[in-house]
Amino acid sequence: MTPPNRPISIFLIVNIILISCVMATSSSSTNRQTEHQQPLLSNGHNALLDYDPADLNQPLLSLITTNDLPGFHSLLPNTPPSVLTAALNLCLRNNKPSFIPPLLTHNAPFNRHTALEAIRGQNSTTLSLLLSPPHSMSPHGTSTSGHMTRPIELALRLNNLQLVSILLAHGADIDSHEFEVALTHSSSELVKRLIEASEEAKYQVYRIGALQIAAGAGNLEMVEFLLGLPGMSIDGRPRGWRKGTTALMEAVGKGRVEIVAYLLMNGADPELGNGEGEGSYKKPVELARELEDGDEKTEILELLKLAGEEGEEQGDEVRMEL
C-alpha cells in the first residue's frame, strides 16, 4: 500500500520508530514457533492423566523412554487397551515414530488427547497416518464435556503451516475463537491458507474485527497482510466490535507504537473515535492519555499530535483553494 503524502516531520519520526521496531518484530515472527513449543492447553490437561495410576507404571512405557523397541514389541500382545493408549500418546508427545505403527497394529484406542499429542509432537507424517484410513482419527479431536482445545487451535498456536494444512485437508473446520488465535499467534502465510481453504475463515476476517485484533496484538506483519485484502478498510469499524473501535484505537489503547506509526503513515484517521452511544465516545488521543506513563505513551501522543496538525494544515490548504 502506498502511503499518502505527509509533511516531512511525521514521516521522519514514524520511520525512525518503525526502523527501531523492525528487529523486534522480525525476531518475534521468527521465534513465534519456538515460543509456543509447549503451549498451555485451554484446560491444562496432561495427556496421561486419564488413566489409572497403575497403568502409568507399566514396563511398556519405560521401554519407550529408553528406546527399547525389541522389548517393546515383546510386551505388546498382553498389554491392556488403556496402557496401549497411554503408550500411543506418550510416543506422539515425544515424537517416537518407530513405536507408533506397532501400537496401531495392536489397535491402540484413541482418547480425547491423542489428536492433541499428535499435534504437539509436530510430526506431519505421523499426523497424516493417524488421520488416514484405516485409523481415521477425527481431525476435530474427541468431543468431551466442557471446553477442550481442538487440534487445529494447537497447530495454530505452534504456527505450524504444514500441520494446519493436513488438518484442513482431512476436514477440520475453524471457529471464530480459533481464527482469533491465528491472528495473534500465526504468520500471515498461515492466515492466508486459512482464508483460501475455509469459507468460515473468509467470513470471519471481515466480521470479527481481524484488523483490530492484529493491531491490538502488535502483529505488524499481520496488519500489513490484512490491509492488502480486498475491501479491508483501515478505518473500518465492524458491527458489534467493542462499540466500533478502529484498528488505530486498538493499537493506541494497547500502547503499540509501531502499529500506531504504520497506521498513521497509511492514512488512518487520528480524529475518528469509536462508535457513539452510552456516553463512551472517545478519540485515539483520549485513549493515549489513559496509558501508563512511559516511552510508549509519549511517542504515541507525539505521533497523534503531528498527524492531527498535518490534517489541519491540509484542511487549511483546501479551504484556501476554494
132-141, 153-162, 281-290, 307-316: segment of lowest average pLDDT: 307-316
pLDDT band (50, 70, 90) for residue 242 = low
pLDDT tens digits, one per residue of 190-233: 999 999 888 888 888 887 889 999 999 999 999 999 999 998 99
Residue of 281 and 126 predicted with greater confidence: 126
* Inter-residue long-range contacts of 36-42, CB under 8 Å, 24+ positions, other chains counted: 36/157, 36/158, 36/159, 36/185, 37/158, 38/120, 39/154, 39/157, 39/158, 41/116, 41/148, 41/149, 41/154, 42/147, 42/148, 42/149, 42/153
pLDDT at 113: 86
pLDDT band (50, 70, 90) for residue 282 = confident
Residue of 203 and 247 predicted with greater confidence: 247
> Global pTM?
0.75
- Residue-by-residue DSSP string for 48-113: TTTS-HHHHT-HHHHHHHTT-HHHHHHHGGG--HHHHHHHHHHHHHTT-GGGHHHHHHTTPPP-TT
Residue of 47 and 199 predicted with greater confidence: 199
pLDDT tens digits, one per residue of 120-170: 999 999 999 999 999 999 998 754 444 578 999 999 999 999 999 999 999
Q: Give the Cα separation of 148 and 112 in Å (integer).
A: 9
pLDDT at 300: 95
pLDDT at 236: 87
Domain annotation covers residue 248: no
pLDDT at 3: 46
pLDDT at residue 37 greater than cutoff 90: no
Q: Mean pLDDT, to the nearest integer, of 293-301?
A: 94
Q: Give the Cα separation of 233 and 267 in Å (integer).
A: 10
pLDDT at 162: 95
C-alpha grid cell, residue 219: 502483529
Share of the chain above pLDDT 70, in %: 73
pLDDT at residue 316 greater than cutoff 90: no
Domain annotation covers residue 118: yes
pLDDT tens digits, one per residue of 73-128: 999 998 999 899 999 999 998 899 999 999 999 999 998 889 999 999 999 999 99
Quote the number of domains for the chain. 1
Domain annotation covers residue 116: yes
Domain annotation covers residue 221: no
- For the chain, the residue count is 322
Domain annotation covers residue 126: yes
**CB-count exposure of residue 142 (10 Å: 0-12, 13-18, 19+):** middle
Q: Mean pLDDT, to the nearest integer, of 236-244?
A: 69
pLDDT at residue 1 greater than cutoff 50: no
Parent domain of 68: 43-148
pLDDT at 25: 47
Residue of 277 and 168 predicted with greater confidence: 168
pLDDT at 302: 95
pLDDT at 133: 93
**List of residues 6+ apart from 174 with CB closer than 8 A:** 152, 182, 194, 198, 200, 201, 204
C-alpha grid cell, residue 59: 514396563
pLDDT at 218: 93
Domain annotation covers residue 121: yes
Domain annotation covers residue 187: no
Q: Considering the chain, what is the average pLDDT of its residues?
A: 79
Domain annotation covers residue 282: no
